[in-house]
Structure 1
Amino acid sequence: MFPVDPWVLLAFIPAGLALNLTPGADMMFTLAQGLKGGPRAGMAANAGIAVGGMVHTVIAGLGLGALVAAHPVAFDVIRWGGVAYLLWLAVQSLRAGPMAARGDVAARSLGRVFVDGLMVNLLNPKVILFILAFLPQFVDPSRAVLPQFLVLGLVFSLGGFVVNGVVAVFAGGAGQRLAGSAVFARWLGRVGAVIFAGLAVRLALMSKG
C-alpha cells in the first residue's frame, strides 16, 4: 500500500508548491550562486539544498527533530554554526570573485557549491522546525509515520528543486552574460557577499519560536 493517501497527496502538492514559491534563504542562496558561478553552479547549490531538505525530513521522521525543537541549546549551536558558515562564504565571495567570469565552472567547484548548499540547509534549524510544523498536518497517525514523512518530504524537496532550478538558470544566464565586464564581475562577487552576509544576519536574528 502506498504510504500516503492519494487524496492527501493531492492536497499536499499545491500547499507545498505555494511554500516553495515563497522567497526564502534557499532561493536567495541559489540566486547568489547562479549569479556568481553561472547556471551549473546555481543548480549544484539547488541540488545540495534539496538533499539537505531530505536529510531534515529523515531526522524529523525519526523523531530527532523534536529533540532539537525542545532543546534551545541544540537549536542555538546549529544556528550559530550556520551563521559562521554563511559569513565564511561571504568572505570567500569577496576574495574569489565570480566564477562566471571564467566562462565555466570546474567539476571540483561544482562539488564545492553542492556541499555549500547542503551545509547552508543543514545548519538552518528553522528548516527542522518548519518540517515538524508542516508535514505532520498531512500525516495519518494510523499508518507508519516515517514512510509518510519520506514521501511528503521528497515531494516537497522536488517542488523546491524545480522552483529554485528556474531561479538558478535565469540568474546564471544573466550572470554569465554580464560577467564579461571586469567591473561588473567584481560587483557580482560583492552582490554574492552581500546576499550571504544578509542570510547570516537573518539567521542570527531568528528566534526559536
Structure 2
Amino acid sequence: MAEPLGFLSAALAFTVIAASPGPANLAAASVAMAAGRAKGMRFALGLGLGLFFWGMLAAMGLGAVLQSSGWALSILKILGAGYLFWLALHSLRAARLGNSTMAVRAAPRRLFWSGLMLNLSNPKAVFAWMATLSLGIGGSGQEFLPLMLLCGLIGLINYVVWVALFSTGVMMRGYLRARRWIDATVGLLLGAAGVSLLRSSASQ
C-alpha cells in the first residue's frame, strides 16, 4: 500500500501542477469569458476526461513507456503543437476581425470535444502524471488507482474553478470591453506554447 505521507505529497504536487497557468487553464478561462459558464463547463469536462485518460495510461505503466520512447513522444509533441497553433490562429483571427471567438459560436458538444482533444494532445499531462505517481508511491497499478482517481478529481475541480471564476459577470463584461486585446493575448500565449512544444520535440 502507498505510504500516507507519499500519497498526500503526490496529491498536493498534482494540485499545484494542475492549478498552474498553462494551455488548458488558459483555454478554459478564455472559453468561460467568451461563451459563459454553461459552455465553459462542457469544455472543462472535456479537459478533465483528457487528463484522466493520461492518468490511466500512467497507472498502467504506459506513461513510462511513452516517456522513454523518443520518437513517440516527439510525434505527440508535434501533434500537440499543431493543435495549439490551430487554437491560436482562431483567437488571433477573432482579435484582428473583431469577431466572436469560435467558443461563442460552437455547440456545447463541440466544446466538450475541443477540451478533450486539447488535453489528449498535451504531452505535459504525461509528465505531470509520471511525476505525481513517482512521489513516494511504489508498487503496482492497483496501488496507483486511489491516487489516480483523486488526482483526476483534483484536475476536474481545477478546470471547473477556472471556468467559474472567469464566467462571472464582471469578467465577461471586462472581456467584452477588451475582447480584441484579450483574444490577441490568448492567441499569442497559445502560439508560444506551441513553439515551445516544437522546440522540445526537436531536442528529443
TM-score bracket for the superposition, by shorter chain length: 0.7 to 0.9
Q: 2:173 aligns with which of 172, 177, 192?
A: 177
Q: Is the 8 A contact 1:39 1:168 kept in 2?
A: yes
Q: How many residues align?
A: 198
1:149 matched to 2:151: no
CA distance in 2 between partners of 1:129 and 1:15 (Å): 12
Aligned equivalent of 2:184: 190
Q: What amino acid sits opposite 2:165 in the alignment?
A: F
Identity %: 26
CA distance in 2 between partners of 1:190 and 1:63 (Å): 39
- Cα pair distance change 1:175/1:95, threshold 3 Å: farther
After superposition, where does 1:66-145 map in structure 2 within 5 Å?
66-95=64-93, 97-98=99-100, 109-141=107-139, 145=140
Q: 1:200 aligns with which of 186, 194, 198?
A: 194
- More displaced, 161-170 or 198-207? 198-207
- Cα pair distance change 1:42/1:19, threshold 3 Å: same
Q: What amino acid sits opposite 2:200 in the alignment?
A: M
CA distance in 2 between partners of 1:85 and 1:79 (Å): 10
Q: What amino acid sits opposite 2:75 in the alignment?
A: V
Q: Is the 8 A contact 2:26 2:186 kept in 1?
A: no
Tell me, which stretches of 5 or more residues in structure 1 are unaligned?
A: none
- Cα pair distance change 1:114/1:138, threshold 3 Å: farther
CA distance in 1 between partners of 2:185 and 2:32 (Å): 11
Q: Is the 8 A contact 1:79 1:125 kept in 2?
A: yes
How large is the RMSD of aligned CA atoms in angstroms?
Answer: 2.9
- Cα pair distance change 1:11/1:180, threshold 3 Å: closer
TM-score using structure 2 length: 0.79
1:51-79 Cα shifts (integer Å, max 9, x gaps): 11111111122222222111111111111
1:151-208 Cα shifts (integer Å, max 9, x gaps): 2122112222223322212222245324555xx4444433432332232223223367
CA distance in 1 between partners of 2:136 and 2:45 (Å): 25
Question: 1:137 aligns to what SS in structure 2?
Answer: coil
- More displaced, 52-61 or 157-166? 157-166
1:6 positional shift: 5.6
